Amino acid sequence: MRASRSRGWLLDIEGVLCDSMDTPHPLPGARGFLREAEERGSPVALLSNISRLSHRQVLRGLRAAGFRLRPRQVTTAGLAAASYLRARGHRRVYAISEGGLARDLEAAGLQVVRGPPADAVAVGAHRGLTGGHLTTALGLLHREAPLVLCGGSATFRGTYRGRTGVFPGEGSIAAALRHATGAPIDQVGKPDPRIYRMALQRVGLRPAWTVMVGDGAADILGAHRAHMAGAIYIGRRAPPGVHPDRVFPTTQALFRWYRASRL
Ligand SMILES: [Mg+2]
């Protein structure tokens, strides 16, 4: 990790700042870390593969949990996907979404449709997913609409309608659609380096100046692909084949190390 050249931080949200955005209570050390970075003049940006909640909902939840953040400091897969679809000239989008992704698409000026015709199929996590949603998406993919994965998680922890546990993520829904149709998946989310560059550009940071902190393999792999200054894994040990510069068991342990460091 080229610590002497590091000036900023890019942090994952779920698993680093809070357990789940469904119930965003700050993890120990998380608010302290952001405060400390601010006092040292080190810019902080957040990057999440979340698309089940809109960018606005994520920002509001984090602020309610006591994090002082400007909108540009937070980049979500839903926000990035909306901007990507618009830049590619898609106007009508069929979205598999709990609501948040649809809000991000509409906020970007796109029309969210309930069926054909549609220019693209956008897939976010949806815990109320039905066979009807999959059948509509399948029909559109057969008509050559591109399959855009908004995020990438295979599973995620959360709380939905009173039930807390592990739920299928948007990556698993997109994989099912690819299996059914052979359509290639166009991913907007970690570990694709484009979303890292977008998150950093929004706050004026450069990859070579910035260290990534995340609790998933995708966080670390993407940081390497984006040529970031370093990558820190939060967890007991990094997954096989993933090589972070440092590992801390918890955000609290990272905060303690940061306070004692000269970064
Ligand atoms: Mg995470």
pLDDT tens string for the chain (263 positions)? 655 555 899 999 999 999 999 999 999 999 999 999 999 999 999 999 999 999 999 999 999 999 999 999 999 999 999 999 999 999 999 999 999 999 999 999 999 999 999 999 999 999 999 999 999 999 999 999 999 999 999 999 999 999 999 999 999 999 999 999 999 999 999 999 999 999 999 999 999 999 999 999 999 999 999 999 999 999 999 999 999 999 999 999 999 999 999 77
The CATH number of 84-188 is: 3.40.50.1000
Provide the pLDDT for residue 86.
98
262 CA from centroid of ligand 1 (Å): 26
153 CA from centroid of ligand 1 (Å): 9
Provide the pLDDT for residue 192.
98
Strand order, beta sheet including 74-76: 74-76, 44-48, 8-11, 210-214, 230-234, 246-248
Cα distance between residue 58 and residue 50, in whole Å: 9
| 112 DSSP β-pair partners | 93
| 75 DSSP β-pair partners | 47
Cα distance between residue 181 and residue 189, in whole Å: 22
Taking the whole predicted model, whether its pTM rises above 0.85 is answered as yes
129 CA from centroid of ligand 1 (Å): 22
103 CA from centroid of ligand 1 (Å): 22
Whether the Cβ atoms of residue 125 and residue 168 lie closer than 8 Å to each other: yes
17 CA from centroid of ligand 1 (Å): 9
Q: What string of DSSP letters covers 46-84?
A: EEE---SS-HHHHHHHHHHTT----GGGEEEHHHHHHHH
Provide, for the chain, the percentages of residues in helix, strand and coil under a 3-state DSSP scheme, each rounded to the nearest 5: 40, 25, 40
DSSP reduced 3-state for 165: strand
Provide the pLDDT for residue 263.
78
Cα distance between residue 197 and residue 190, in whole Å: 11
Residue given tokens 């855009």 in the structure block: 148
189 CA from centroid of ligand 1 (Å): 12
For residue 177 the two structure tokens come to: 């659609």
210, with CB counted inside 10 A (0-12, 13-18, 19+), is: buried
The CATH number of 3-49+191-260 is: 3.40.50.1000
Domain range annotation of the chain:
3-49+191-260, 84-188
Provide the pLDDT for residue 258.
96
Cα distance between residue 177 and residue 67, in whole Å: 37
Provide the pLDDT for residue 6.
58
Residue given tokens 């602020």 in the structure block: 63
185, with CB counted inside 10 A (0-12, 13-18, 19+), is: middle
Provide the pLDDT for residue 3.
52
63 CA from centroid of ligand 1 (Å): 18
14 CA from centroid of ligand 1 (Å): 4
